[in-house]
Structure 1
Amino acid sequence: MSRTVRDILRSKGGQIFSIDADATVFEALEVLARENVGALMVMKDDRLVGMLSERDYARKVILKGLSSPKTPVREIMTEAVCYARPEHTVEECMALITEKRCRHLPVFDGDQLVGLISIGDLVKASIAEKEFIINQLENYIKAG
């Protein structure tokens, strides 16, 4: 049985770190550093409007010479956000992340944002699943 996003969220929790679209990039960087995360959900009136990642910062602020204390998050966030559902499998999410070249997937259950998973979460889950299968096979071989 393939692990799902729901399984990952159960083990890691559904904590979501977010920032308002009108906050400054500097404020977003403070949250990223304080929470030790690589991406924030960008919200406007309790609605997801984008995502801000360290990659957005590096490519859209530093390289363009913008000022972090003056630039609003909405100007550099990624608006087209790929997402997952709790029933999606680890393999489906790995394929999506690979195809879309993203590192984080917000998780929606219906219209509700319930979590965020990263490529690291998916790799960890995939390895754990493969280790479980290997152990099962080894036990089967030893018993036979």
Structure 2
Amino acid sequence: MQIRALVGSGRKVIVIGPEAPLSEAMDLLLTHEIGALPVVEDDDRPVGILSERDVVRALHKHGAPTPTLSVRRAMRTPPPTCELDTTVLEATSRMTRERARHLIVCGEGRLVAVLSVGDLVKHRLEQMETEASVLRDYVAAQRARM
């Protein structure tokens, strides 16, 4: 299965620019209850990603957020990305390999969605439920034949 099937077109992606103050990014993370923000240029091309972990690291290194502490100084760059035609297995492997909890999904180099490890877990649980249901139906049909 491709990532395209997991990322619906109805979900609005909250983003931030690289020169925005870190305090603004923190407000967005808290207000929208999200774990990461794609950092994009004006043309929606991702240049980084800012996670809660990146914020903690920046605050530890630089102290309390000030108007001069920008997202650029705290973001992870280059951001972990995948394409719409990336398989779920490839995306999961990339997240594991890069120790990333979020992947920026791109189409033609532009931001389309953000995929979280939670999205992948939810997908896998749905697959397992479907498989279990098919197996139960199969067993019931076999018993009925006896």
CA pair 14-106 structure 1, distance change in 2 beyond 3 A: farther
- Structure 2 residue runs without a partner (length 5+): none
8 Å contact 1:14–1:114 — kept in the other structure?
no
Counterpart position of 1:95 = 93
Separation in 2, partners of 1:96, 1:73? 24
Counterpart position of 1:64 = 61
1:134 correspondence with 2:128: no
The one of 12, 31, 42 aligned to 1:45: 42
Identity between Structure 1 and Structure 2 (%): 34
Counterpart position of 1:85 = 83
1:111 correspondence with 2:109: yes
3-state DSSP of counterpart to 1:115: strand
The worse-fitting range, judged by mean Cα deviation, of 15-24 and 84-93 is 84-93
8 Å contact 1:90–1:126 — kept in the other structure?
no
Q: Which has the higher contact order (CA 8 A, sep 6+)?
A: 1
Q: Residues 66-89 of structure 1, C-alpha deviation per residue, up to 9 Å, x if partnerless?
A: 331331110111012111222222
* Alpha-carbon offset, residue 36 of structure 1: 0.9
8 Å contact 1:39–1:52 — kept in the other structure?
yes
Q: Residues 88-108 of structure 1, C-alpha deviation per residue, up to 9 Å, x if partnerless?
A: 222221111111100000111
Query: Normalization by structure 1: what TM-score?
Result: 0.89
1:117 maps to amino acid: L
8 Å contact 1:39–1:53 — kept in the other structure?
yes
* Alpha-carbon offset, residue 45 of structure 1: 2.6
Separation in 2, partners of 1:30, 1:89? 33
- Structure 1 residue runs without a partner (length 5+): none
The worse-fitting range, judged by mean Cα deviation, of 20-29 and 108-117 is 108-117
1:16 maps to amino acid: V
8 Å contact 2:46–2:79 — kept in the other structure?
no
RMSD: 1.5
3-state DSSP of counterpart to 1:31: helix
